[in-house]
A and B are shown apart, each in its own frame.
Chain A
Amino acid sequence: MKKFKGIRWTAMLCLVLVISMLTACSTGNTSSTGNSQQEGGQSSQAAKNVKLTFFNTSAEVNTVFEELFKKYHELNPNVTIELIPTPIGGAQIQKFQSLLASGNPATIANLDAGTILQYKDKFLDLEPEKAKYEELTKEGAVEGALLDGKFLGIPWSAQGYGLLYNKRVVEEVIGGPFDPSTIQTRDALEELFKKIEAAGKAPVMVHGADWSLGAHYLGLTYSLQSDNVDENRKFVDSLMDGSATLADNPQFNGLIDTFDLLKKYNARKNDPLVADYNKDSADFAKGDAAFYFMGDWTWAVIGTLENRDEEFGLIPVPISNNPEDFGNTQVAYSQPKLFAIDDSGSSAEQQEAAKAFLEWLVTSQEGQEAIVSQMGLALPYKDVKVTSTNVISNAVEQYVDQGKVINIGVINYLPQDYWSMTGASMQKYLSGIIDRNALAGEVQAYWTDQARK
């Protein structure tokens, strides 16, 4: 009997546990419905306590954003912003989709421009804000952020890429100051590479990851067709319907000719697909390679290294021997991430608060301090009160100020998997498994396959 009593007690305990678990779930529910009621009733009670959520795909700077949210809350006690973090490099879009699918979208989303385009019906049209931001930003920044002609995302960071160079190494080899504008043709680049190799250094580092090869290098093919994004989109369309072929496209062939050169002088040519991003960046920063096909974002790795060189710059990837050709004096430039405001489940108060917060973020001293110095990003705004420590993005800025940029906006309209699919073909080419014809064939096949879908 005593034993039986014991069982009973355990059973009771279990029941209590189960019930408490279930009620815990349900209290969670009621509190959230309570919240939304509160939000609904807010319009009558004037602007009181607005709660915003912020979905962030720039996972490496989560903490910087959180600090900003706290600061903004101190300045505006009625606005609370909560971060929805994502893991670095993985499952970001999945999380965004699940929030959307469960009817619980984030008020503000920091997303790749291409992702915003895909979900364009879910975001608020910022047309009324456009004039203000055109006033605030540098020439072309708003233009570059338009998606299908609509202003859906506020630009806040700009990135550029090309052939980075280690100033000390190059200057030691040529025995004097290096003027990047002397390299505007493939032959000039090869000559320099030969000198560097003769001096016993590796001329160039080619990072073997699919995103670098597929999106950044091969992706230039689509952006180099013209300086107009719409023309470039038409080119991609003609690849899909087969009216244009890559194999006889001058830009593609020019790029691959230069790629052959990079391949020949590659510091990693014995094992080109190792693709260890940290190691490649560090070796370049320490002077083991003179050039590096990469962008200003690599400062996040280089900037904190010990025993690295101090000065770096960048030059465009030359695609021909005619300095006049488009691309030989321009560097690739884009605004990869935009702030978009949700329009599928957020109240008008939330949207207004989100707009105010975003404007504060890009114009206030605190916001600029965070973006420029702490995140090390270039802010495409006219009145930036903070100077950047990122010497590579400063070098990009110089090209921007001279208007020497390739607008790579066409990538926003490409299918999401183009970089991994065509990047795999580039990896095969880099490691010598396929030749140029097969490469052109595989990439072309990818595009014609897209037309079928």
Chain B
Amino acid sequence: MIKKNFLRNTGTFLVFGGPSIFAFIAVIVIPFFVGLYLTFTSWDVRTADTAYIGLANYIEVFQDKVFLGQLWFTLKYVFFTVLIANGFAFFIALLLTSGGRGEQWLRTGFFTPNLIGGIVLGYLWQTLFSQVLPYMGQKYGWSLFQTSWLTSTNTAFWALVIATAWQLIGYLMIIYIAGFSGVPTDVLEAASIDGASRTATIQKVVLPLTIPAIVICVFISLSRSFLTYDINLALTKGGPFASTELATYHIVQKAFLSNQYGVGQAEAVVLFAVVAIIALTQSYLLKRLEVES
């Protein structure tokens, strides 16, 4: 009987989970290991060469100063994007759950950027940064906007952060709203009866109780911004003078433009390791802050 149950359970599992597992293995797991294997070869499409060369590609990666610089640039970019996106998303979610008028409309409005593809969004912001803002800056004498933000390294960095955060905020906001609705009303009532101020309530009650939402949001924003490619391509094309290339952009350039497939693939593996380590560490650390209401 137990065996029969086991078989039936396995069958049910396979029927429902099978297709997803099949797809996952076919498009994620197998390519990942093939990719990993390719980093140990001198693979080149032009010659179809697949000679085993050991760790040479990885040594090349750590000698590629441009890539290491780009990785550092990416880390900075991810740090600010995650901070800004989560900060705004949290407070917008807070505002939109306080029971004001037109909340539904505003939620929809804030979520919309997520429905726009990264390329379109990049071009949109590019027009804004290189045409609309400089035009207004010159007209009204705002020194901050007199020249395009995309033509100097520093401002182009912030342009990237703003555009990515803008896209992410809506998505994170939805998760935070879901998180807030999980905060029991009796706890909030108790806090208000005890005379806690709004800030204290948020700090001492809401924040600890929405840690699961925060963990998810930070995880999502981390992995998404680490792997940003489309916005980078459409907004700055890595420019000016290749100074705003994120790691993914550099990898694609390395593999397909400079024709160094093996090195490019090895850089992708290094990036994967960095993302995995940071994302797992943060969720482990943040999870320890979770409390029961």
Contacts and interface: CB of A to CB of B under 8 A. Distances in A.
Interface of A: 7, 11, 14-15, 17-18, 21, 90, 93-94, 97, 100-101, 118-119, 208, 210, 270-276, 279, 415-417, 420-421, 424-425, 427-428, 431, 433, 453
B259 interface: yes
Interface string B1-40: 0000000000110011011000000000000000000000
Given A18-B15, A433-B241, 17 more contacts: A11-B11, A14-B19, A17-B19, A21-B19, A97-B45, A118-B46, A210-B241, A272-B151, A273-B150, A274-B148, A274-B151, A279-B131, A415-B259, A416-B257, A417-B258, A420-B242, A427-B239
Given A94-B256, A119-B46, A415-B258, A271 B242 contact: no
Nearest to A21: B19
A153 to B, nearest CB: 16
Most buried by A among B12, B16, B241: B241
Contacts of A415: 258-259
B239 A276 contact: no
A428 B46 CA distance: 33
B228 interface: no
A416 B151 contact: no
Interface residues of B, number: 29
B19 A417 contact: no
A279 B131 CA distance: 10
B130 interface: yes
Contacts of B256: 93-94, 97
B240 A420 contact: no
B234 to A, nearest CB: 10
B262 interface: no
A453 B134 CA distance: 43
B253 interface: yes
B147 interface: yes
Interface of B: 11-12, 15-16, 18-19, 45-46, 48, 130-131, 134, 146-148, 150-152, 233, 239-242, 253, 256-260
Contacts of B242: 210, 420-421, 424
B240 A100 contact: no
Contacts of A416: 257-259
Nearest to A118: B46
B24 to A, nearest CB: 14
Contacts of A417: 253, 257-259
B130 A11 contact: no
Contacts of B151: 208, 271-274, 431
27 contacts: A7-B12, A11-B11, A11-B12, A14-B19, A15-B15, A21-B19, A90-B233, A94-B256, A100-B45, A101-B45, A210-B239, A270-B147, A271-B134, A271-B147, A273-B150, A273-B151, A276-B131, A415-B258, A415-B259, A416-B259, A417-B253, A417-B258, A417-B259, A424-B241, A424-B242, A427-B239, A431-B152
